[in-house]
Structure formats: C-alpha cells, structure tokens
C-alpha cells in the first residue's frame, strides 16, 4: 500500500477558459505557452482553476517570454460576478527581465479553495511567446 505525501509540490495544469489544456513548452514541459504575432501585444489568460474545482495551496507562478517585450501580469479570482485582482501580483517586466523570466509569488502562499475560479493574466506589449508555469501543494 502506498501513501500520499501531502507536502509534495505538484504541477498545476494550466487551461483556457473552457478547461482545454494549453500548449506545453517543448523545453520546460511544466510551462504552458501562448503566442501573439501582433506588434501591439495581447492579453493571455492562463487558468489555474477554470471551473473552481481545484483545491490547492499555490506556491509559485513563473512567467517568461521568448523576446525582450514588456509584460504586465496579475492573479485574479472570480467572485460577485466579476474577476477580482490579487494586487500583490500586479507587476511589469521589461525587456531582458521578461526574457529571463521571474517567479512571481514565492515566498507568498495563496490558498485556492475549492469553488474558486482562478486565472493568471499576462499582457505583452509586443509580439512573442509568453510562458507560465505554476505549482502548489495539494
């Protein structure tokens, strides 16, 4: 009989708004990617819990880009009929910072309580590929 290690970190599968898994990066399969060719950039939503069924302690979210573009990101939860910002995560990366990537929430820890829809949104100011990975404890 095997036991479950409840303190083990697990990868959070990131999806779109309908629950379809996003495209994993070929080099870092825990990172999911979205791409825009638009020179003016785009906003990408990476759902950690698209339907509110995930119950996890969020440990880390990592964001990066494959180009020196500006990135603005924030973590949101859905309540009272609208998306609400979790303000400490609202940050902008410029140029080389976006290319290098950053861990956004460590060492902060957020609980994602079952029944809560949660998404991580990234807005780029130019064309490129944006990647996000997330992990937590069950």
Residue-wise pLDDT for 44-99, tens only, equals 999 999 999 888 888 889 999 988 888 888 889 999 999 998 866 667 788 788 88
- Return the higher-pLDDT residue of 17 and 137: 17
Quickly tell me which residue has 């950039």 as its tokens: 41
In this prediction, residues 114-138 reach a mean pLDDT of 90
HEC string for 43-67: EEEEEEECCCCCCEEEEEEEEEECC
31 versus 107: the higher-pLDDT residue is 31
User: Taking the CA of residue 16 as centre, how many other CA atoms within 13 Å lie in the half-sphere pointing to its CB?
Assistant: 7
Dihedrals phi, psi of 24, to nearest 5 degrees: -75, 150
Q: pLDDT higher for 4 or 133? A: 133
The rounded distance, in Å, linking the Cα atoms of 22 and 24 is 6
Distance CA 121, CA 27 (A): 22
Mean pLDDT for the stretch of residues 127-138: 90
CA distance 98 to 73: 11
Q: Where are the domains of the chain?
A: 9-29+49-137
Q: Is the pLDDT of residue 106 over 90?
A: no
């Amino acid at each position: 009989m095997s036991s479950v290690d409840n303190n083990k970190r697990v990868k959070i599968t990131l999806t779109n708004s309908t629950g379809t898994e996003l495209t994993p990066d070929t080099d870092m399969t825990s990172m999911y990617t979205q791409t825009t060719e638009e020179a003016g950039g785009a906003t990408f939503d990476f759902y950690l819990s698209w339907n509110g069924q995930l119950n996890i302690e969020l440990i880390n979210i990592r964001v990066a880009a494959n180009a020196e573009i500006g990135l603005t990101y924030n973590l949101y939860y859905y309540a009272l009929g609208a998306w609400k910002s979790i303000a400490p995560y609202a940050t902008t990366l410029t140029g080389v910072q976006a290319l290098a990537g950053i861990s956004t929430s460590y060492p902060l820890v957020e609980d994602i309580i079952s029944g809560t829809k949660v998404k991580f949104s990234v807005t780029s100011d130019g064309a490129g590929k944006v990647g996000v990975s997330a992990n937590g404890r069950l």
